[in-house]
Amino acid sequence: MAGLSLKNLGRRFGTFEAVKDLNLDIAQGEFVSLLGPSGCGKTTTLRMIAGFIDPTAGTIDLDGKILSAPSGSLPPEKRGMSMIFQSYAIWPNMTVFENVAFGLRLRKVPSADIKRQVHDMLNVVRMGELADRYPSELSGGQQQRVALARAVVIKPAVLLLDEPLSNLDANLREEMRFEIRRMHDEFKITTVYVTHDQSEAMVTSNRIAVMNQGRIEQVDEPYKLYSRPKTRFVASFIGRTNFLNGTKAADTASFEGFQVPLSALAEKAPDGGAVTISLRPQAIRLHRANPAVSGKIALGGRIAERAFLGETWDYQFAARDGGLTLKVAAPPDTVFEVGAEAWVELDPGEMVPIA
């Protein structure tokens, strides 16, 4: 198939398994993020794709050709990929122009073409005016744009990004996310993006692969990943959530204080007698009186804690019967005092059973 394919990929460092039995297919032109906490194996995976690390198990292939296998790997310089690094890695001994032109020169592109392509690319990243500057005369954001131009100008088969925004300040980071997305929309380069920042991944990616302890937990579009997490790790790593533990009998699931028909849940519950569901705080609605909507569940209780976060109120709701507490997010105009009586309305269609 066309595109990048990781099959049963594994990497061991001594006795430590950094990446375990990882499978991922990335279609040509697709933008996929590897998202996970530090130490989850995402950077190791990226560096295996780049060719800086050899796998100890499995293969990596591009358009059907094997690039990496435990028996030997193609060195990075022969893969036709390019990579953007956390430290930018802009060469301080070369001007902006020379940095961007470097890959083209290695490819023996005629110098008139180099000049044109580099200037076009610098204009795309809005660095056209600064072509003759040295990197020490640029800000962090400008250096990152140069890195982007340098990587993209060679029209790589695959573009790899290793936490490229983690050294930038918050505002710039937000701006650069869209910049990266815009570049992808313009050039349609197959891209693998490593990050630990979920909003970065959600802004840029077609699909996100959430990694944990060397494995991929789930690969999905950003919206699906948030609304239909498959595992406990994914549900808690992407956004905040409430986990409710219950038991399963015939066709209903029983939780503390309420029951729902299994068929009403968002997804089919996994086999076994116990069931855990994830319910996002945003999916819960607060009321002053029992709303009594059919098909929904209403629980009475009181507000235990609250915090105002600007865009939302963050409430802790304690149910009257039993020890159930729920995180609830409410719009700024929904104001409840701590200790006030309240009702929550739960939608079984928002309850996602997780593995």
Partner 1 sequence: MNVSTDALGTTASGGRVSRLAMFQPVMLVWVALAAILVFLIVAPMEELVVSSFQHADTGDFTLENYAAAYSKPRYIQALWNTLKMGAAVVALAIVFAVPLAWAVARTDMPGRGFMRLAMLGSFISPPYLSAIGWILLAGPNAGWINKAWQWVTGDPGRIVNVFTFEGLVFVMASNVFFLIYIFTHSAFEMVNSEMEDSANILGAGPLRTAFKVTFPLILPAILGSAIITFLISIALYGVPALISIPARYPVVVIQLSEFFGNTPIQLEVAAAYSIPLLLITAVLLGLQRLVLRRRTHTTVTGKGGERRIVKLGAWRWVMFAYAMIVALLTLVAPTFVLFVAAFSKVWTRGLEWSNLTFRNFYYIVFEHSTSQQAIVTSLTVGAAAASVAIILALGIAYIVQRRLLPFAGALSFLAMAPFVVPGIVLAIGFFAAYAPPPFALYGGVSILILAFITRFLPVAYTASAAGIRAIHPEMEEAVRSLGGGRLTAVRHVVAPLLKRTLFAGWLLIFIPAAQELSTAIFLIGPKTRLVSVLVLDMSEEGRYEHLAALGCVLLVILALLVWAGFKIAGRDFMLRRDAS
Q: Which residues bind partner 1 (CB under 8 A)?
A: 2, 28-29, 50-52, 62-63, 65-69, 71-83, 85-87, 89, 91-93, 102-103, 106-107, 147, 150-151, 154-157, 160, 187-190
Look at the alpha carbons of 39, 45, 48, 52 in this order and tell me if their dihedral is positive or negative: negative
Q: What is the smallest separation between the CB atom of 118 and partner 1, expressed in angstroms?
A: 13
Select 28 or 199, whichever has its Cβ closest to partner 1. 28
**Nearest-5° angle of CA 270, CA 275, CA 280?**
100
Q: What is the smallest separation between the CB atom of 155 and partner 1, expressed in angstroms?
A: 6
Distances (CA, A) of 98 to 54, 77, 91: 31, 19, 9
CB 304 within 8 A of CB 286: no
Query: What are the φ/ψ torsions at residue 26 (nearest 5 degrees)?
Result: -120, 120
Distances (CA, A) of 251 to 110, 230, 248, 260, 298: 71, 21, 7, 9, 20
Q: What is the smallest separation between the CB atom of 79 and partner 1, expressed in angstroms?
A: 7
Select 62 or 114, whichever has its Cβ closest to partner 1. 62
- In the chain the first and final C-alpha atoms are separated, in Å, by 31
CB 240 within 8 A of CB 280: yes
Select 147 or 354, whichever has its Cβ closest to partner 1. 147
Q: What is the smallest separation between the CB atom of 65 and partner 1, expressed in angstroms?
A: 5
Select 121 or 210, whichever has its Cβ closest to partner 1. 121
DSSP 3-state percent helix, strand, coil across the chain (nearest 5): 30, 35, 35
Select 70 or 349, whichever has its Cβ closest to partner 1. 70
Q: What is the smallest separation between the CB atom of 300 and partner 1, expressed in angstroms?
A: 57
Q: What is the smallest separation between the CB atom of 82 and partner 1, expressed in angstroms?
A: 5
Select 77 or 271, whichever has its Cβ closest to partner 1. 77
